[in-house]
Amino acid sequence: MAAVAETLDTVAAVTEGGYKWGFSTDIEMDMAPKGLNEDIVRLISSRKNEPAWLLEWRLKAFALWKKLDEPNWAKIHHAPIDYQDLHYYAAPKKKQGPKSLDEVDPELLKMYEKLGIPLKEHAILAGVEPVEGERPPIAIDAVFDSVSVATTFKDTLAKSGVIFCPISEAVHSHPELVRQYLGSVVPAGDNYFAALNSAVFSDGSFVFIPKGVRCPMELSTYFRINARNTGQFERTLIIVEDGGHVSYLEGCTAPQRDENQLHAAVVELVALTDATIKYSTVQNWYPGDADGKGGIYNFVTKRGACRGARSKISWTQVETGSAITWKYPSCVLIGDGSVGEFYSVAVTTNRQQADTGTKMIHIGKNTKSTIVSKGISAGRSDNTYRGLVRIMKNADGARNFTQCDSLLIGDQCGAHTVPYIESRNPTAKTEHEATTSKIAEDQLFYCRQRGLSQEDAVGLIVNGFCKDVLKELPMEFAVEAQKLLAVSLEGSVG
């Protein structure tokens, strides 16, 4: 059955209005004391039995973090974050890592069931052969607070040589791969939040697709922040060797809490020659209430390196959650003829603030990038697209196409487009198009005259506006992303 699709149906059916994923779960937790210092970094490392090199790597990152400053160039405003007032490690209490799903805390399984995310393989595999019109199975890694609690279909994947496991496990089972690639795309000192993540990351997903392998199913990580006053710092590393192919989905929700919660993830993608990585995100962290109380602070560094010729990395994101979003999934196009894509829908309502976009760095010859950004602002929110297209000296024949559209709902919200284009090669070509529109009263009336409710009309118009991005999502996610858009804009018109 559908992974996150049911989330929306199930949970939407149970609750009404507001944020529908906002329940919390009572699970016995193993928590580090509040605060951040070398001892906490050591504690995290030792809880995970990490090898000495990784502890050293973390400590170096921590030293860098202390020297860095929080970036202040984004169009976001928030009270200062007290980094000493957070827990940096929280894990469901258990003796050892679960060997199988049977060992996972039943409360946890129940919570994922409530979210509509089936961690039981047999439930997903009921018919084994996917029936036509039904979705094929998706392998899922579930990360609860800082720790991966279950990864499904590991064995099936292993048969084709695909490694899909928590990164904490990969550190032990494939140390050479982790050591070679960790921090190779986003170095520890890249920015303040990346440094913080490198020092304290606790878990996340690891994917390795060997040469010539097309991953036989969609891979998905589902992130859930549950614990109070806890930062979530997950780290994802995806490596695809020559000619390999993977489509990876990421979904996130969090309970509804009055205080802000910090989320600072790092995602690194590496695509070698002729490799393709499709990375899709449906981000629905708790956005805070109508007055701007509570919600997730989402400071995320996502970057992919197209290292091989003709490699391709495609980011697709649908972002409706978080009080603050600071996120610029990027592509470094090194290999000749490599391709980078960024398709984004960012919705802000109430007091949400989003400063999001992408960076496309063209280094190789004939590299190509496409950026399609759709920003939707409602309420008193602020929505900024910030994008950089940089074409280096040797990137002969580089091409970029950028399309940035903003849709305003109401007249108290803001939409801003900040494109930076730097070209150091005269043969390069860049195109930039931007539009700003409003949902017109006559469009709404037209729909309502045909029988649609005001809310369905907004949903329809918004989905139409986002179509070019939604069609990039894997089928499994497209439908739920559409519903999510409608739900998140409920009550924002009229």
Partner 1 sequence: MLEINALRAGITDKEILKGIDLIVPTGEVHAIMGPNGSGKSTLSYILSGRDGYDVTGGTAMFDGHDLLEMDPEERAAAGLFLAFQYPVELPGVNNANFLRTALNAQRRARGEEELDAVKFLKLARAEIKRLSMADDMLKRNVNVGFSGGEKKRNEVLQMAILRPKLAILDETDSGLDIDALKIVADGVNALRSPDFSALVITHYQRLLDYIVPDRVHVLAGGRIIRSGGPELAHELEANGYAAVVAEAA
| Residues near partner 1 (CB under 8 A) | 440-443, 445-454, 456, 460-461, 463-468
> How near is the Cβ of 468 to partner 1 at its closest, in Å?
8
> How near is the Cβ of 438 to partner 1 at its closest, in Å?
12
> How near is the Cβ of 325 to partner 1 at its closest, in Å?
23
Of residues 388 and 493, the one with the C-beta less far from partner 1: 493
> How near is the Cβ of 157 to partner 1 at its closest, in Å?
34
SS (H, E, C) the chain: CCCCHHHHHHHHHHCCCCCCCCCCCCCCEEECCECCCHHHHHHHHHHCCCCHHHHHHHHHHHHHHHHCCCCCCCCCCCCCCCHHHCECCEEECCCCCCCCHHHCCHHHHHHHHHCCCCCCHHHHCCCCCCCCCCCCCEEEEEEECCEEEEECCHHHHHHCCCEEEEHHHHHHHCHHHHHHHCCCCCCCCCCHHHHHHHHHCCECEEEEECCCCECCCEEEEEEECCCCCECECEEEEEEECCCCEEEEEEEEECCCCCCEEEECCEEEEEECCCCEEEEEEEECCCCCCCCCCCEEEEEEEEEEEECCCCCEEEEEEEECCCCEEEECCEEEECCCCCEEEEEEEEEECCCCEEEEEEEEEECCCCCEEEEEEEEEECCCCEEEEEEEEEECCCCCCCEEEEEEEEEECCCCCEEEEEEEEEECCCCCEEEEEEEEEECCHHHHHHHHHCCCCHHHHHHHHHHHHHHHHHCCCCHHHHHHHHHHHHHHCCCCCC
Of residues 264 and 407, the one with the C-beta less far from partner 1: 407
Of residues 318 and 447, the one with the C-beta less far from partner 1: 447
Of residues 30 and 456, the one with the C-beta less far from partner 1: 456
Of residues 6 and 468, the one with the C-beta less far from partner 1: 468
> How near is the Cβ of 460 to partner 1 at its closest, in Å?
6
> How near is the Cβ of 368 to partner 1 at its closest, in Å?
25
> How near is the Cβ of 464 to partner 1 at its closest, in Å?
3
* Half-sphere exposure of residue 483: CA atoms within 13 angstroms, side-chain side: 15
Of residues 424 and 467, the one with the C-beta less far from partner 1: 467
Of residues 99 and 450, the one with the C-beta less far from partner 1: 450
Question: Which structure tokens are listed for 255?
Answer: 């309970």
Of residues 72 and 449, the one with the C-beta less far from partner 1: 449
> How near is the Cβ of 372 to partner 1 at its closest, in Å?
12
> How near is the Cβ of 170 to partner 1 at its closest, in Å?
41
Of residues 53 and 446, the one with the C-beta less far from partner 1: 446
